[in-house]
Structure formats: C-alpha cells, structure tokens
Structure 1
Amino acid sequence: MKRVVVGLSGGVDSSVAAYLLQEQGYEVIGLFMKNWHDDSVTISNECPWLEDSNDALLVAEKLGIPFQTVDLSEQYKERIVDYMFNEYEKGRTPNPDVLCNREIKFDVFMKIALSLGADYVATGHYCRKATIEKDGKEVYQLLAGVDSNKDQSYFLCQLSQEQLSKALFPIGELTKPQVREIAAKIELATAEKKDSQGLCFIGKVRLPEFLQQQLQPKEGLIYEVNADMDTYKAEKPQFTSVKEQLAHEAKNIDYKPEMAKLVGKHQGAHYYTIGQRKGLNVGGTKEPLFIIATDTETNTIYTGQGHNHPGLFRKALFIQGSEVHWIREDLALKDGETMDVMVRIRYRQPLQKATLHQFEDGMYISFEQPQSAITEGQFAAWYIGEELVGSGVIS
C-alpha cells in the first residue's frame, strides 16, 4: 500500500480528497498546516485556524485516519508574508496563493510528509496530473480541472517536475457539486462548509487590513487622467526589430501630475493595485474611476474613468529571465524562439490567445487582444490545450 499524506485544511475539497484516496486503497494520513497565529492581525474575534483544524480532525476521525497538526508559521512568515510586504512596498502585487503552493505545501509540507514515509502528497485542488513518456523518461503534466468553474491549475503554475512527481489531485476529475454530494453522502462535517476566502491559510484576514497593520499609512494624491490624452493617440514609432516593438508594447506609461487633474487623496499608494475600483472614495465622476498606475516613490495614484479607459490596456508584458519557469522543461524556448499559447494573467481570467517570444534577457508575451490591468508581481501562466506548461512573474 502506498502512503499518502493529505493536507487537510478543514474544507470540503481536501476532506473528499482524503476519502477518495482511501477508497482507492492508499494508506492515508491527514496533516493540518497551521500557518499563522499572530492574533494581532486576525480580523474579528473568530479564530479561524482553530475552527478549521477542528473540522479537519472531525473528518480524520470519521474516515478513521491518523491526524496531526504541523506548525509552519515560521516558514510561512519568512517565505510568504515577508515577501508579500516587500513586494507591496515596491508597488507590486504579489500572489500569495501561488507562492504558498510552491514554497509551503509542495516544499516545506512535502518534506515533512516524505519524512513520514509518504510516497505522495495530496491536496484538494481542482486540477489533474498526467504522465507521458518522452525520450525514454517520465514527464509529468499539470492539467486543468474538469470543473472549468473551479479550475485551480493557475495556483500551481510554479510547481516543478520534482514536486509534481510526488503530488496527487484526487478531486480534479470532479465538479464542486459532485464533491459536495460525496461529502454529504458519507456525512462529513465539512459537507456544507462555505469555501474559505482570505489569504491562503491565514484564515479570515482581509488583505487591506492586514497590509495596513504592517505598512504605515502615508497620505498622497489621486489624479485622474483623461482618456483623450495625447499620449494615448501618439503615432506608433518605426521599430527596427520585433524585440523593440514588444518592449514598446509592454512598457508602462510614465504618468506625471501635469498630465492629469487632482481628484482626491489616499492613505498610501502601496495599498492599491492596477485595475482596482473600490476603496478610492472619490465621487462625482460620470463613470467609476479605475486605477491605471501607482507610483510608490512619489506616493501617487493615477486613475481613469470607466473600464474601457485606454490607460488600463497593454498589448504585451515582460518576464525577467530569472523569473521564467517551465513546468515542462522539455518545452522551454531558446533565445529567438516563439510559441503560440493560451495565457491567463490572473486567476479566473478566461484564457487569452498569445505568443511567447524568448530572448536572452527574458520573455515577452504578446497578446492577440490588448489586456486590461496587467499587474506587476502577478503571475502569467501559459497553456497548450488544457495543459499548463509554464509561468512567470510579470515585471
């Protein structure tokens, strides 16, 4: 019997994952990851991780599997939280969930599982794994979940072949309603439990409040940029190379106060992100204001009216060479090569037609249609069909 350690989070997905593995004849062990217990930043009096770990324990008891809690809060603070603050201070918007999978669940946690003699680590992610043979060796594929509504492959876009080789995703072939149905049928305590929203494993912490407790507020100005501004209408220059054109299309406009009108004040540019609409508290505009740029050096926010404002759209993005990651290393591009793929620049975004252009210093992704709110620090993930083959941090 192969031994599998399941990351039981106290939610319905990981509970059903554990049950399915048991049904398939694996020896299953449940581990709950405690990743945060700084009560000063948990919003409201709920103690979410306690509640979650109790639910995980109830599920383990029901299934008759061994269960324990591991405290990873030190590594979580170091690898996820500190990184997040660092990124926000630079005016970038990190994705803690992608990092949590790469750094915690499939690294720190996986090492603990393997030390317990596990052959695999399983999670309740809506995605699938497949194996193909290439040049005589096994290659692992990360595939989208069958439930297109819940597909979570994007959150695993930074995994390596080694991490995938030891991973199992038991619910990837199911839809969310099917998962709930199974949980109800075998009377799991988590059958009706709502999906958790909040930072991966920190529990019910809302990001803005969390940031405010760590990054000091600093009053700055909000400007509105007119959609008819000349910069948006400028003639395209003549390019001498494809790379030069891509660099032009990926470049952010360098906004200055004199290009815009003053419309309000904010409490710190590092709390805001491109494309954000809520939380500006500026009224009196015909259409809602969207953030088109933030400047953390001058602590300034630039906005535009309406979700079709030209300042929101770009046709290309750049990923630094060191940030380009291939799950399928055998498909990695060499300098000067291109590849047609489908790309997603945030979770839940429908896949977009695009072309990867690899150069010595990094990769450009050029889109068929201009994309709204391309955000530094977020991950772009590229797919061929239903397979996620690589990803990188937008720079």
Structure 2
Amino acid sequence: MARTRIAVGLSGGIDSSVAAHLLLKQGFDVVGITMQIWDGALPLKDIGMSACYGPGEGRDIAAAKEHAERLGIPYHVIPLSSEFRTEVLDYFRQEYLSGRTPNPCVRCNASLKFGLMLERAKKSGIQFDRFATGHYARIMYDVAQSRFLLLKGVDSAKDQSYFLSRLNQDQLQMVMFPLGEKTKDEVRKLADECGWKHLVDKPESQNFIEAKDYSVIFKETPSATGPILDMQGKKIGEHRGIIHYTVGQRKGVGIAGQEKPMFVVRIDTCRNTVIVGPKEELMKAELKAVNLNWISIDGPGETPLKVKARIRQQHKEAPAEIRMDPSQQNSVLVRFADPQMAITPGQIVVFYDGDTVLGSGVIEIPAL
C-alpha cells in the first residue's frame, strides 16, 4: 500500500524544516516545494534581510534545497512571480492608494501559498495527497458539522491562525500543521537535537518585502501631497501623499509642536486629506466587516453572536457581538464590549470562540 505523500512548503527556515522532519518520522512520504516570487519588478537592494519578496530569495531557496537534500526528499521550485505581482503587490498598492491598510500575508496565504502554488505543482506533475507548512496552528474535523475547523496553535506567543483565517474548506481539508501542538522552544530543541544549529540561529522572516518600508512599491505611482487636518477641520500640516500614512500612526506624520501627541485617525482619499487627533479619537467600539469567510459556522443567526475579535495580528482579541448587516450582503456589524484602539480599514478582523476560528472579514470602516 502506497504511503500518503505530503508536500511541505519549505522556506529554508527552522519551522518548515522541522515540520518536514516530523512528517518523515511519522512515516509519511515527503516532498518539498517552494514558490519563487522574486522577479526584479521593484528596485530592491539585497540588504541581507530575510523577507518574502526580494533579491535575497535566492538564498532562501538554496537553503530550502540544501535542507531537502539533508532530509533525503525531492524538492521543487514553483514559479509564481507574475501571480504574486497581480494577487499581492497590485492589491497592496491599490489598497493603500484607496486609504486602506491591507495585510499582504493573509492575502498571499489564501490565494497563493495554499492555492495557486498547489494547483501549479500538481499541473507540473508533482504528486501529493496533502500539504503541510510550519505554521503554528491546528486543524480538526468536526464530525457533527461535517466541516474542518481552524484552531490556534498551542503556543499563544507564536499562534498564526490570524494569517490563515481566509482559508476555505477545500484548502483546510488538504492541510496539515505539524507544529500546531508544539511551542517554539520545543521546535528549537528538536532542530538543535538534529544538529541544525544554523537554523536555530537564523533570523526569522518578519517582512513582506526586503526593504525598511513600503515606499518602493509606490515608486512609479504618483501620490499628491495634501492637507493634514485636526478633528475640527483646521489645517495643521501638509502630508507627503496618503500612501505614507495608516490609521493609528504617530511617528513620521510631520506635525511637530502640537500640545499633545497626535495620531492618524482617518484618511479621506476623496479630499486627499489626512485627519489627525489625540489618542482618544482612535478608540472605537464598532466596525463593519465585509468579504466574510466563515470556517466553523455559517455566520451569525438572527440574534447577535458573542465572540472574541482580533483586529490585527498583534491585537489581543476582545469580547464583541456580531450581527449580520441588513444593508449589505456578506457583511457584519461588530460591537466591542469596550472601545478598541486604531480599528483600521483594510485590515482583517478574525472572530474566535476560544481557540476556534469562527471566520474573518475585511474591515471596511470603524464607527466615526
């Protein structure tokens, strides 16, 4: 009887390497795959930074290939540069130009890493039954509901369920997360026991592109200067172009000399205006979310559903109620028990019941 074959998304880092190692120990037939997305379309310099997109990608692919050879598994590179440019870079650019702050990692996971990469790999003749990554999250099957559930990883400090919250049932049924039940310290110990100290010491990828900021993405995109207004509509400065600002931003706004610290509260693209105010103006208790992706439920019913909601990866989820928006399909209204700081249009809001991801949506607008 043929062994189940698992394709593992190898990045050249510790997490995916240990995930592949654990699957081999469990007796699976393993093959490594990596998507190649760098195409030189942006004028990025190789600054030695570990990032998803940039000229340093070659080092990561070489490291992934080397580790596949060390494990004795086949390894394949899947070209997806044009798809990444369309699905992620163009999306990111358009969202910023529209005054929103997108999450490129969430977008990339749903459309490329767990989508087009697997389709392209199979079309190229690579055979596999399941797909695994080094994400810190868990998958369970709910027999009663006949659906797959996405849960937080047991290591709360490393949990990556937020970034996976846009995956659908077809994707979840294919996925394995070998590190979901482990802590980062346990993963480091396993790598050390295998003699992979270079992986233990390797810096983790923290950036979406190999650059210190995102301005290079807009190098060829005009972004006009405009007024910075306070909450009373008084002009107190001039912004450099709305692409340089996001809700909640304080540093680099360009309005020194104010009586109290001022934050970006809102971006008005129609008037090409940045509105700023004191911290209390960032505190909002409501938001509207669109483009919903339900995982463990079909959505709230006729009565409000009590959840915990996370409005960005580093945000501690907070108690809230969600109800369907009667004015728009595939949209919910979210009311937090207490106001939250810097609810940002374009970001993802994820709804939890304990460790279980109920679903997610794109924040369209906080209450004004």
TM-score, with length taken from structure 2: 0.90
Residues 304-334 of structure 1: CA deviation (Å, up to 9, x unaligned):
23x3x2x2121111123xx121012x44234
Aligned to 1:358: 324
Does the CA-based 8 Å contact 1:140-1:164 persist in structure 2?
yes
Structure 2: how far apart are the matches of 1:32 and 1:17?
Answer: 14
Partner of 2:266: 293
- 1:312 counterpart = 2:282: yes
C-alpha distance in 2, partners of 1:68/1:209? Answer: 32
Match of 1:390 in 2: 359
Comparing 54-63 and 184-193, the one that deviates more: 184-193
User: 1:343 deviation in Å?
Assistant: 0.5
**2: distance between equivalents of 1:183 and 1:42?**
32
- Please state whether the residue corresponding to 1:190 is helix, strand or coil: helix
8 A contact 1:102–1:158 mirrored in 2: yes
Structure 1: any 5+ residue segments left out of the alignment?
226-258
How many residues of Structure 1 are paired with residues of Structure 2 in the alignment? Answer: 350
Residue 191 of structure 2 aligns with an amino acid whose one-letter code is A
Aligned to 1:379: 348
Partner of 1:332: 299
Equivalent residue number for residue 270 of structure 1: 243
**Higher alpha-carbon deviation: 5-14 or 38-47:** 38-47
The answer to whether the 8 Å contact 1:317/1:364 transfers is: yes
In structure 2, what is the equivalent of residue 23 of structure 1? 25
1:159-238 equivalent positions in 2, closer than 5 A:
159-188=167-196, 189-199=198-208, 202=209, 204-225=210-231
Structure 2 Cα separation of the partners of residues 160 and 32 of structure 1 = 21
Q: Structure 2 unaligned segments of length 5 or more: list them.
A: 49-54
Kindly provide the amino acid, as one letter, of the partner of residue 347 in structure 1. Q
Contact conserved, 2:165 with 2:360, CA < 8 A, in 1? yes
Shift of 1:87: 1.2
CA 1:159/1:298 → structure 2, altered by over 3 Å: closer, same or farther? same
Sequence identity percentage: 37
Q: Deviations over 1:216-272 (max 9, x none)?
A: 2322222233xxxxxxxxxxxxxxxxxxxxxxxxxxxxxxxxx24333222101321
The offset of 1:39, in angstroms, is 5.7
Q: TM-score under structure 1 normalisation?
A: 0.84
Q: Tell me: CA distance 1:180–1:41, structure 2 relative to 1, closer, same or farther (3 Å).
A: farther
Give 1:209 deviation, angstroms. 2.2
Q: Check 1:217–1:173 CA distance in 2 against 1; reply closer, same or farther (3 A cut).
A: same
Q: Give the alignment's Cα RMSD to 1 decimal.
A: 1.7
Shift of 1:206: 3.9
Contact 2:10 2:17 in 1 (8 A): yes
